[in-house]
Structure 1
């Protein structure tokens, strides 16, 4: 009898050890996400920013968050903002610090923050983590990690329309309004040759071309999101090359100040420079993050399901034009209202493949690296019915084409 009992105990011990071993071999089975509703008074938000408010990019996130907190009726102590957080281990450490301070919603604003925020999300399963411009939430499906962006290419296109009208005002023929090839040359200060930047400058260029069909554009990269000296010097070099108008996807006042100094029209991103650069500022565009901030807080309070990947639009108020500058051409406001309505009702599409060529040909297909497995291998067809559908299969841009009419400078 004792032998049978001993054998039974031994058997149970072996089974228990086997189960523990199996769980240890598959740590994902140990990770349980159990998000709960959080009362409004208990909400605490942590915002992680790459730079501070001197960066127009980060200022846009910070201003929108403060606006959302105010409109939601949250207290000031329910928001903690961390600035100057680089895209490295410090981002993860900052996220952990925010969790320890009681934050239950954490949002990071820069592309390179993603892996570090995901690491924190994997560990702190009762906290909701959000990341702007990221690409991995829809495939990782961690349960508490989410990506968001907006169809800002529509805002860039509209800004391009305003830029085209300015070129016509300055250089258009008195009889037919045509602009000479020499005067139809514009410049663009880009940070990096990433999809987000390519999508932005291409949509801006297509907006210009909708008004000035023979427009050409030179793009030069600074290899930095925020480098005021480099952005200023790059804008000036483009002006010296004969560019008659400058826009940018860079985060300082470098390019706007260069345009002001040289008397060249400028189209901005994220903030209006009308007060500082009156006479050269034409218009700008930005992503308004306040609607998304409010949405995720309200969803957290109600414990509603939040999509892993969210794209804001003109309709949601997430894509905005900044104020029209005094330097804008007469009739610009009316034209922008017309074009915006067409974008909203679907009769106009920014990346209609009839409106651009690559190596002299209209494209009929384009595979994009939507799932971002780290191998940079495109796997998703994103052209449907003659439209390249940017930010439809994933919120973060995946447009990487180099279209005719745009020259990338070294």
Structure 2
């Protein structure tokens, strides 16, 4: 099964990941930090290490792997100088992996899961001549470490646009009379801000097309669990949900939706994540929001190769080519591509803000203020006013998502 999934993910990612030659400026307001790494390492000697929460069978990690490989190829770094550490848990084994990579001569070391951060920082404090960068983390801005940075992508932008894709399909079904209740389901991994930001953006994209839509979210408490994700999708379908979105890293939910379709439920469709899901759900997959990690990796690795200064946070969206959608499925409603193109253009030119406070309420009331940064470690933002000029500035103060408001229309089932 793992071999099959690896082959499947390799095929779909090769088709869907787009290469970008230039990265954009970081969205973080944090100041640049100087690095102590030297700039005299030749391309042929430069080594890149990566600590990964999964392997090639897990969509999120696979996307990171492809991004690092593409960045190294663009920069002329030999493939033998890239060292991957697979399925590293979020504990002291991350520190051990980082030390091992540093001792192997890696000039820069990445880690791609939230719980890796403190262990990577520990290694960074001991190897001041090595660059370290961590995806989804929040500490670089305040840590004051010259050789440590955080990075992420504005995936909430692509999730919003994928919501437009779902909304167009939902409207088509309602106009045809085959669906009367605009009821959406969402399979989430954990109730973290990263997931909340994503499913809220997805929901707001749907509501831009179908204002009466409502959504239930269920959590698997795992980033990657094919069985649990399929069971969660089936439970949502049994409740009457007609679109199933996800922030989970396997093909479990789309496969479950396809199975429901094959059994005669022709009014339920899927929006995936990380990879194109058409291979496992050809009749029901509408699209998948995706990160193009190459943009961030190329920018960070190039800085390290040149001995330059790291930004505290790196974050790229549609404007920089850091996020995208997979190919639209044949089940998409007519006019979907045009709606997608218009939304992306509006995001790029700044006329569309995903978290515009005019488009949502909390407990029936408009939202006029919300913090973005957690300063005391309790996962509740308590600093940095994020609502400026009428919209929540996601990934503005730090690269990692911070939006965690429980807006009306979305219900957490567990």
Common topology (TM > 0.5): yes
**Which one of the candidate residues 108, 112, 129 is aligned to 2:111?**
108
Note if 1:401 corresponds to 2:399.
no
CA distance in 1, matches of 2:376, 2:46: 32
State the alpha-carbon separation in 1 of the partners of residues 345 and 380 from structure 2: 36
- The TM-score, its normalising length taken from structure 2, stands at 0.87
Give the equivalent residue in structure 1 for 2:138. Answer: 135
1:27 aligns to what?
A: none
**1:375 to partner: Cα distance:** 7.4
The answer for the alignment partner of 1:7 in structure 2 is none
Q: Give yes or no for the alignment of 1:66 onto 2:69.
A: yes
1:273 correspondence with 2:290: no
Q: SS state of the match for residue 218, structure 1?
A: strand
C-alpha change, 1:373 and 1:39, in structure 2 (3 Å) is farther
Does the 8 A contact of 2:147 with 2:310 survive in 1? no
Q: Which has the higher contact order (CA 8 A, sep 6+)?
A: 2
Corresponding position of 2:369: 365
Match of 1:297 among 301, 309, 313: 301
Distance across 2 between alignment mates of 1:290 and 1:189: 27
Structure 1 position 371, deviation (Å) = 4.3
The counterpart of 1:54, out of the listed 52, 57, 69, is: 57
**Aligned residue number for residue 311 of structure 1:** 315
CA distance in 2, matches of 1:112, 1:285: 23
Gaps of 5+ in 1: 1-31
Structure 2 partner of 1:35: 37
- Cα 1:370–1:309 change in 2 (3 A) is farther
Q: RMSD over aligned Cα, in angstroms?
A: 1.6
Q: Distance in 2 between matches of 1:274 and 1:167?
A: 19
Aligned residues: 374
Q: 1:385 aligns with which of 364, 385, 389?
A: 389
Contact between 1:136 and 1:372, CA under 8 Å: does it hold in 2? no
Structure 1, 306-315 or 186-195: larger mean CA deviation: 306-315
d(CA) in 1 for partners of 2:169 and 2:381? Answer: 40
Cα separation, 2, equivalents of 1:294 and 1:329: 36
Give the equivalent residue in structure 2 for 1:321. Answer: 325
Q: Distance in 2 between matches of 1:169 and 1:275?
A: 24
1:173 deviates by 4.7
Aligned mates of 1:280, 1:368 — CA distance in 2: 36
Paired residues of 1:179 and 1:212 also in contact (CA < 8 A): no
Larger Rg: 1
